[in-house]
Amino acid sequence: MRELDEREKRKTQMFSNIKSTQFEEIEQRKEINHLRKQDQEECLMRYKNIHDLYKTNLLNKLNQKKERAEKVKDQRIKPQLSSLNQTAPLGF
């Protein structure tokens, strides 16, 4: 009888250990999934930040090119205007 009681105790303890192990495993999976999701969100934020930086740099470069093109255009037009003013008759 005593042997049966001890067997039952060991069996109960074994099931208890199995349940606690399963619970720990489930909690670890939840934590891993949470960390994975957090990592994905951080990666997305990094991508957005890099993309925003790229767009800002691209716009800056385009604005600089536009300004240079306008300067070149102004430099070409000014000599032409001054030469026209010199050769144009004053009265009709």
Tell me if the pTM is above 0.85.
no
pLDDT tens sequence across 33-63: 999 999 999 999 999 999 999 999 999 999 9
The residue among 71 and 2 whose pLDDT is bigger is 71
What is the per-residue pLDDT for 33?
98
Map out the domains of the chain as residue ranges: 1-60
Q: In whole angstroms, how far apart are CA 84 and each of 17, 62, 74, 81, 89?
A: 99, 33, 15, 5, 9
Q: Which two tokens stand for residue 77?
A: 């037009």
pLDDT tens sequence across 12-37: 999 999 999 999 999 999 999 999 99
Q: Provide the pLDDT confidence category of residue 83 given band limits of 50, 70 and 90.
A: low
